[in-house]
Structure 1
Amino acid sequence: MKLLAAFLLLLVTRVNDLVVEDTGDDAKWFSEAVQEHDLYFRYQHGAVTDLYPHEEEEAVATNFKRGILSSLQMTVSPTSDMDIIVSEVDVSGECDVKYSMEMDPNPLITKTKMGCHANTYIPYLPHSYYTNTKANSHLPFMKNSHVCHIHGKEGTGPRGDIDVAGGGGMWEKVICSEEVQVHHHLTPNSNRSSLATVSMSSTLMLEEGPKPMDGNFSNGDVLRKTVSLVADLKAAVNFAEMKKLSNQNVKEQLDSVLESLSTSEDSEPDDLRPRLFSTLVHLLSHLNVEELEDVWSSSSSENTHRKILVDGLLVCDANPCHSLVAQLAQDQGMLSQGQLNMWLAGIHMHTSAHLEFVTKLLVFSTISFKSALLPLRSFLEYVDQQVGVSCGHGKTRQQQEHIKLVMRALGNAGVFPSKDFPERCYLNRTLSPELRIAALQSYRRSGCSGVEAPWKLLEDGREKSEVRIAAYLALVPCATYTSGFFTRIHKLLQQEKVQQVYSFIWTHVKNLVDKPGPSKHDQELSKLARQHTLPNKFNNDAFRTSGNFRYTHFSESMNLGGSVDANVVFSHESYVPHQISANLTLDLLDNSFNFLDIGGEFSGIENLIESYFGKDAYFSNKDVLKILHNLRPKRNIVHEDKIQEFQKKFDTKKKNQLEWEKNEEEAKPSFYVRMFGNEILYVENMLQHSPAQLLYQLIQELSSPKTFKILDQEYMTPTLLGFPLRLKVNATASVSLQHELTFRSTKNLGLQLEGSLTPSVVAAMDEMLLVDAFVSSSGLRRSSTQVAKTTIGGKFLVQENEVVEIQLSVPNSEVMKMSSSARVALLNSDGKWVEPKSKTVPVESCIDTVSEMVGLEVCTSLSHGQYEVDGELVTAEPSEMNFLIKKTDSFNYYKLYITQQESIIEALFDTPGSSIDRKIHFLFNVNPDREGGYIVVRGAGYGIKGQYKDSDGYSGLQLEYLQESKVSGELEISMKKQVESLRQEYIPKFLVSVGPDKFTLEGKWKHMIDEDTKNLEASWEIEGAWHKTEPNMVTQAFGRVSGTFMTGQDNFKLDLNTEYGSESSDSHSITLTLNNNHTLHGDMSIFAGYASLQISQIPAGITMEYESRPDLFELNTNTSLQDTQVSSQVVVKNVMSTAVQDTQLTLSLASKQLDIDYKASGIYKVSDNGFQAEAELNFDSSFKSKFLIMYLFEDEPLHVLAGLHLTLNDFIFQIGHSIDMSQPDHLLITYSACKVQDLG
């Protein structure tokens, strides 16, 4: 191989005879590929800026040369006393590199990569780029280290520049090493050992070669292709995959896999089928159109093969697969409508999908926009004609619903027939809000629309709030491109009078400021939004007002984060949210993935809710219905939009409009799911879908094993020599539902359904960490498998639209079995995966707690591999876990027989054939007034009887549990209600007894609200008792809580008393009292109150009293514990005055038990011309102290006073003076000093 380097002066050098030390065919091919073409590159100031590879050179060879040049690159001149950190571009991308130098004795340069902005390849996932300040090219749970040691000969230049004349210094050797550690995904910075480690090293040795040619080289055909030093991962990996398959007979492998999948349908569920299916999809994606058609034709005699092929083709992401799917759609019966719809709905997830293939599918199918929403430019003209200029105005409801679905389809595509296309719909007020919102949401894929029309809706207060909010969300993507966007929003909110609109925009803007994401767009939005302060002038009740909710988290160290955005939009016509949506965005590897959107519309759902509680409804309840009606806003207010609705009735299309008005209040909840911004599921009206019908269709669909791919993804990043480090995840599942079903009509319009279902699920996941050096590969594979299987069956008998008999069959001893296993294998140099040998130690356990009741027990077993490392046993994979539910008895089915006659419902449960009598008889009788009834349950040796009542003044349930006809347990739950004018009283009761043990809880609650003064008075009393009898011991407890609560405009009072103990005659108490009053004396407000807490068991207590007025604040506290009391007093005068302020503080502590009597006090007074400070501290009779200092100066007349007093037990020191000229013709000068000390 020759490497040709060009300085600015076009100096050229060569490196010859690159040898790859391996003798295999791959090694020979790689050696020839590397040496076949010379590589020209531009070398400026120690940096390799551009490469000029030959057009026919394979990407794997160019990447290898990129790695060599990256090792030789050095862009700075380090010194021995200082490290230098710079940003460089090399094979790994843009990296932060630290250079350090030492002389030993020749120069040794150490080049350490601190991290790289991601040069990664993530196939098949749409994403957007974001900038993270911390460079990190690997996943959060990968830790990477990369170091190069550059050894120089004596006389090497400052950057190690290659001396083409041969007289200067040279770099003698470059040794590079790289290590990638894979940690547990939840503990990326853990100190524990890594799960896997990949180590690579390379050594470049300088050898003598031919002298370089003189002169410049030609810039002709050799330099046609220009690339950077960054590795081309995609091209290299695609070439390697194709080369690997070209050496194998793909057709033979495909036939073998098809045969194995076909024969595995009747076998027990294991991991073979999903892994075979994954191989099938991989092989199909590497065949051309002719080869695929040949495979299809050759499988014509085997119907099973064709079913398997169809499943594989529908998930195959390659143009030939899509072409064959389009061709099969033309043949009647080759693809079911459901299969075609699912393929079309998921077409966005295919990176190779071409519109021509999708167009063929639509031409030859009956697919509607309701089933699959497609971004097809070829249908835009058709769509434009269908929607029309009026956007469906005057058309039937069904036609308008179709247009709404068209708008959702265009939103998926992000394209429109014309720039003003959505405006036709959302600016037309005569259309339904749902259609207008769908038109506004159609901008979501195209980003900033750049149109002014949504502002018209947002700034029009007459518009419906949900439409205005949708207009705002359509405008937000333009915020960073529109000058003064948030200034305009700020002005709008200053004048906004609609609470729903204001609260939503306010919370959304606030979240943009407080919780921005890491993307450049989010950061810029946050910067712009914080320029204005938005006042919150409405009460944002999350259960009544529209709002935006956002949670974001991003870890700079892990380069990983995410955000959850939720929007709740209320309408002024309902207490149920009109729209709810949530979005999950993942921020990973400098890319933002709009992973998941879910949401729905729930207009009219309040009518459906209230219908369940209305008269003669299933949950008829007048109280609940009244509460729901009170939640509704007042609908008799005339709004501007209502006037327009009345005007619609006189439209020329009166008949169609009346049809719309008739259905406008109908509940029509819809639901959607979007992944990566693409709508993959949309249910127009969830109430129109029959669960039974969906279940039947599902059973038919899964009658034969259905295999599908859950995940097939790969993450790649370059290593030091340009070879890709590949992290591959492949997850496949197989689901089958074997069934035997018979339907038979019986007398009295009856129906009998009998049969069995045997569902089984197998999920297999393979995770591989692989370094593909093309000559040789090394890697680690973890394979996990989850299996679940059960068999259920029975008989359902229906007569006169009522279920009268149910039999649930459990024919097998193993009712349900689930297992999970994981294995680890290493890739040897010969390309074979080998599992390390280990010992396994299983642990088994069973739980038979419910065996007597239902005849089943639960068993689990767990095993892990054990390895000996440095003399210690280490537990690791392989691992296996089994979960089993099995029968403990000989019965074959559970039987439930039901009869209903007017107000009586009777049921019988049994396990025929069992050695244990589990027969249970149920009887439920409703009283004629439908306000109550009684319940009877009888079993073998036990029974339950009781009654319930539900009326306006009483609701309750009373049950007795009997064993051998004797009462051994009771349960009573009741609530009495009494209403007298403004006063309401509730009396709850709860009682449970089991044998001699009893627990009771009774209480009373009263409250009254004065509608005029808004004063509230409430009182309550709750009493409970517990009695438990044990051998030689009786345990009992008692408790009571009572209190009163009063509040008004100027007062507040709370009294709370708690009593507890073993019995009421010997109880302890905790009392809490709070009181606060506000009074006015003229213009002066006075606040006064107290708080008290007393505990009798310790005993302890605290009492606080306070008074506050403009010129005084006083606080008194008294705390007691046992016989110790602590009291304090704080008085502050002239609090609000800037002139004179006085403060007084007193603190005392007394305890007879400890024989202490402590006291501390302080006084502080200050004015403009004097101050006084006094402090006193006494400890019983053993220590007494006092400190006093005062100062006064008045100039007219002159009065100067100063003094100091100090007392410490028997030591007294006092000094002071006074000059007083306040009396006419009289001057008084006083000086005093005193010192007293007891000398004993």
Structure 2
Amino acid sequence: MGGLKPQAAIWLLLLIAHTQAVRENPLKDPRICGRPQCDSKSAKFNYGEQLYKYQYTVAVRTEFAGSGDNSSDLLLKSDLEIFFPKPCEGYLRINDAKLYDTLDELNDNESDSSEKTKEYDYYDNLANEESESQNYDNMHPKSSDFNVDLTKNLLRFAFHDGLISEVCPQEQETPWVLNIKKGILSAFQNTMMRFDVDANTTETDVSGQCQVQYALEDTDSSYVTIRKTKDINSCRQRYATHSVLQTTPYTFRDDKTIWPILKSQSHCNLTIDNNVYKEIKCLETHLLVPFSNASSGALTTSTSRLKLDGVESYSAGEFLEQNPELVERRATLVFDHTPAVKPSHDEIKAARELLVEMCRVGFPNIQREFIDVFTNFLQTSKSLDYKTLSVLLQRSASTCEQGRNHLLESLPFIGSTASYKVMRDQIINEKLTKQMAHDWMTALSFITRPDEETLETFHSILEYAKNRLDAEYTLGATAVVHSFCKHHEACEENLRVQQIINLLETEFLNLYNLFKGERRTRERMVILLKGLGNIGVVSSAFAEQLQWIIREDEAPVDIRLHGILAFRRVDCARHRSYFLDNYGNYTLNSELRIYSYLQAMRCPDYISVGVIKSILEHEEINQVGSFVWSHLTNLAKSNSPVRIEAQGLLLNDELSERFKMDIRK
């Protein structure tokens, strides 16, 4: 390196760093939202380097259709801008947003313009003042706060000739605001190959992954109108449940789907003028099928309209200089079901009143309405923040006789970040019985969508659990970290996940280095390895040390076995060769060889299958060979994705005769 010139050395280091970054994730560029390659040839759309101003209106009405004028309405009006400083990247900016709790403002906008002019002539400015006063009266009380939240941040998105594959919001963007912006961009999405050719395809937008049909409605020399129909019943990734229990979504075959509770329809009319959206009108209806008759019943109707209001010039280069180039986070257009936490005085008061009501109808004389009161209390408490919920718990003993007990029993089922923090405080400060603390940790292990704040909460619990034999604390907390990793790509790069991993790994290595055969220390090391196995993430340095321990003859066998199990959720291909070597080591403990074989079979490829076959042909330990052969036989008959590889191994008749006679199998 000393013979290189300084400038050449710098370029070499930059080249190495760039090569490493590409190797880590070749399909993502940290400076680009969406896929790196942009193909702008023969495009359907032609958005230039200009600001496209749109008026956006969405009206939602929920009513019992056919039962008179009895409805709940909500109207959103906003002005927004969409612009494309890069060929395949756009930005959405909301400049003004107003929220109304009636649809009168929508009807006023659609009334005849000549009548408005006539009214102005008669009453001059007085009519305008009355109109502004009426608009203010109809405005939702949260409209001002709503406007602040919606206009705070830009939204960056990928735009590949109509396909919006990814949005890249800023880190501080809240889920509910992002969902509204996803809804706006979903209307902009068009995945047709050409405007003049009808298309049937599958799209991913705020409704989920749905089947969509495009049909040409009308055309002229400068514009086309396209009808877009979405089959809501075919949508996947659409629904979510708010429950303390973890569930796994299952996609049924189309001919085996259950009877839908909602009868939904969705279609849009897209008007494109000179390869730019001129107007988008959408209608979506949801009818509750039970207790409905034809079109009557509980009905929600949503109508939206995007209308081009003008075009302005701007400097794309200046905009890019003033805004961060690196992508902070990525997401699809799919709706984010993370609940918002914004407590109000009414909710605090309602939670206190429901707690008093639970005391009245609950223990010791439990009445039938207790379950309804309990459910309402859980729903109300979900919106309380940490400070409010802590105060409610502190005052619960004086609120009513059983108030504290009712609140403690409710905390695991509230399912909010605030409730996890309150439970952490009670556990760490040992303000409850050990049995209740264990029950809480068991319940908390089923958290479905933990956030980073929740990880910080459980990091505190893991620190409290140091050198404790209570497995509930470590195993429950690590199960929550695994749930976080299921919903966050590259979670091993998350700082809070790294802190938790480092905490567990450091404690294990400290205990192992000082281990002299104590039962208590050995049990704690097993718990730590199980916890790391729960998460499915280990550091490279710790993986090397653990692999050395697995091969260390002086280490206890149970520690070595659980060391192998600690890799059960780690990237299989990364450590496959190590476990194949263990399996092929005939001098190794038989149980260790079997566990290593099972680990390698999580991700078999052509080469590893050949290695396993070669080891079987020269197997010296009948116990290991019989287990492997019986496992392959069962695997070949199952629906496992690796059954094809297993069937290929079973073609050897000599191996079949050799291992099938072991009486233990």
Smaller-chain TM-score bracket: 0.5 to 0.7
Task: Write the distance in 2 (CA, Å) between the matches of 1:266 and 1:120.
Answer: 36
Residue 346 of structure 2, aligned match among 234, 249, 255 = 249
Q: How does 1:973-984 map to 2 (within 5 A)?
A: none
Task: Write the distance in 1 (CA, Å) between the matches of 2:506 and 2:171.
Answer: 42
Q: Aligned in 2, Cα 1:120/1:135: closer, same or farther, shift over 3 Å?
A: farther
Per-residue deviation, 1:471: 1.9
**Which residue matches 1:408?**
530
Gaps of 5+ in 2: 1-44, 58-76, 78-99, 105-137, 479-499
Residue 441 of structure 1, aligned match among 565, 574, 592 = 565
Alpha-carbon RMSD across the aligned residues, in angstroms, is: 5.2
Q: Aligned in 2, Cα 1:300/1:142: closer, same or farther, shift over 3 Å?
A: closer
- The answer to whether 1:25 aligns with 2:149 is no
**Which residue matches 1:388?**
513
Per-residue deviation, 1:492: 1.4
**Which residue matches 2:190?**
74
Q: Is the 8 A contact 2:636 2:644 kept in 1?
A: yes
Per-residue deviation, 1:406: 4.6
Q: Aligned in 2, Cα 1:310/1:203: closer, same or farther, shift over 3 Å?
A: closer
Structure label with greater radius of gyration: 1
Residue 272 of structure 1, aligned match among 369, 376, 389 = 369
Residue 489 of structure 1, aligned match among 603, 612, 630 = 612
Q: Aligned in 2, Cα 1:492/1:408: closer, same or farther, shift over 3 Å?
A: same
Q: How does 1:1077-1156 map to 2 (within 5 A)?
A: none
Per-residue deviation, 1:490: 1.0
User: Which amino acid counterpart does residue 74 of structure 1 have in structure 2?
Assistant: N
Q: Aligned in 2, Cα 1:266/1:99: closer, same or farther, shift over 3 Å?
A: closer
- The answer to whether 1:234 aligns with 2:336 is yes
Q: Is the 8 A contact 1:454 1:475 kept in 2?
A: yes
Per-residue deviation, 1:459: 2.4
**Which residue matches 1:167?**
none
Task: Write the distance in 1 (CA, Å) between the matches of 2:593 and 2:167.
Answer: 54
- The answer to whether 1:16 aligns with 2:55 is yes
Q: Aligned in 2, Cα 1:109/1:486: closer, same or farther, shift over 3 Å?
A: same
Task: Write the distance in 2 (CA, Å) between the matches of 1:103 and 1:406.
Answer: 66
Q: Is the 8 A contact 1:116 1:135 kept in 2?
A: no
Deviations 1:169-222 (A, max 9, x none): x66x63434558879xxxxxxxx999x986645253758x5x433465652588
**Which residue matches 1:212?**
311
Task: Write the distance in 2 (CA, Å) between the matches of 1:103 and 1:450.
Answer: 59
Q: How does 1:723-1122 map to 2 (within 5 A)?
A: none
**SS of residue matched to 1:479:** coil
Residue 161 of structure 1, aligned match among 258, 275, 295 = 275
Q: Aligned in 2, Cα 1:58/1:457: closer, same or farther, shift over 3 Å?
A: closer
Task: Write the distance in 2 (CA, Å) between the matches of 1:125 and 1:419.
Answer: 32
**SS of residue matched to 1:238:** coil
Task: Write the distance in 2 (CA, Å) between the matches of 1:542 and 1:198.
Answer: 67
Task: Write the distance in 2 (CA, Å) between the matches of 1:494 and 1:139.
Answer: 50
Per-residue deviation, 1:51: 6.8
State the TM-score, normalized to the length of structure 1. Answer: 0.34
Residue 501 of structure 1, aligned match among 620, 624, 634 = 624
Q: Aligned in 2, Cα 1:503/1:201: closer, same or farther, shift over 3 Å?
A: farther
Deviations 1:25-50 (A, max 9, x none): 26856985798589887766445677
Per-residue deviation, 1:15: 2.4
Task: Write the distance in 2 (CA, Å) between the matches of 1:401 and 1:57.
Answer: 44
Q: How does 1:73-472 map to 2 (within 5 A)?
A: 73-76=189-192, 83-93=198-208, 95-102=210-217, 109-113=226-230, 115=234, 118=237, 147-150=266-269, 161-162=275-276, 174-177=281-284, 200-202=301-303, 204=305, 209=309, 211-214=310-313, 216=315, 219=319, 230-231=332-333, 233-234=335-336, 238-239=339-340, 241-242=341-342, 245-246=343-344, 248-266=345-363, 268-301=365-398, 304-329=402-427, 331=429, 334-350=431-447, 351=450, 352-353=454-455, 354-359=457-462, 361-362=464-465, 367-369=468-470, 372-374=473-475, 375=478, 377-388=502-513, 395=517, 400=522, 403-414=525-536, 415=538, 418-423=542-547, 426-428=550-552, 434-448=558-572, 450=575, 454-461=579-586, 465-472=590-597
**Which residue matches 2:30?**
none
Q: How does 1:1197-1208 map to 2 (within 5 A)?
A: none
Task: Write the distance in 1 (CA, Å) between the matches of 2:604 and 2:610.
Answer: 10
Q: Aligned in 2, Cα 1:515/1:400: closer, same or farther, shift over 3 Å?
A: same
Q: Is the 8 A contact 1:78 1:101 kept in 2?
A: no
Q: Is the 8 A contact 1:145 1:178 kept in 2?
A: yes
User: Which amino acid counterpart does residue 71 of structure 1 have in structure 2?
Assistant: A
Task: Write the distance in 1 (CA, Å) between the matches of 2:660 and 2:176.
Answer: 61
Deviations 1:1168-1188 (A, max 9, x none): xxxxxxxxxxxxxxxxxxxxx
Task: Write the distance in 2 (CA, Å) between the matches of 1:79 and 1:252.
Answer: 56
**Which residue matches 2:604?**
479
Q: Is the 8 A contact 1:323 1:357 kept in 2?
A: no
Task: Write the distance in 2 (CA, Å) between the matches of 1:539 and 1:498.
Answer: 12
Q: Aligned in 2, Cα 1:223/1:421: closer, same or farther, shift over 3 Å?
A: closer
User: Which amino acid counterpart does residue 49 of structure 2 have in structure 1?
Assistant: L
Count of residue pairs the alignment pairs up = 497
User: Which amino acid counterpart does residue 438 of structure 1 have in structure 2?
Assistant: H
Task: Write the distance in 2 (CA, Å) between the matches of 1:322 and 1:339.
Answer: 14
Task: Write the distance in 2 (CA, Å) between the matches of 1:398 and 1:55.
Answer: 44
Task: Write the distance in 2 (CA, Å) between the matches of 1:197 and 1:489.
Answer: 61
If each structure's helix is expressed as a fraction of its own residues, which one has the higher value?
A: 2
Q: Aligned in 2, Cα 1:343/1:540: closer, same or farther, shift over 3 Å?
A: farther
Task: Write the distance in 2 (CA, Å) between the matches of 1:215 and 1:543.
Answer: 79
**SS of residue matched to 1:98:** strand
User: Which amino acid counterpart does residue 593 of structure 2 have in structure 1?
Assistant: R
Q: Is the 8 A contact 1:89 1:95 kept in 2?
A: yes
Q: Is the 8 A contact 2:576 2:599 kept in 1?
A: no
**SS of residue matched to 1:13:** strand
Q: Is the 8 A contact 2:203 2:210 kept in 1?
A: yes
Q: Aligned in 2, Cα 1:214/1:358: closer, same or farther, shift over 3 Å?
A: closer
User: Which amino acid counterpart does residue 490 of structure 1 have in structure 2?
Assistant: K
If each structure's strand is expressed as a fraction of its own residues, which one has the higher value?
A: 1
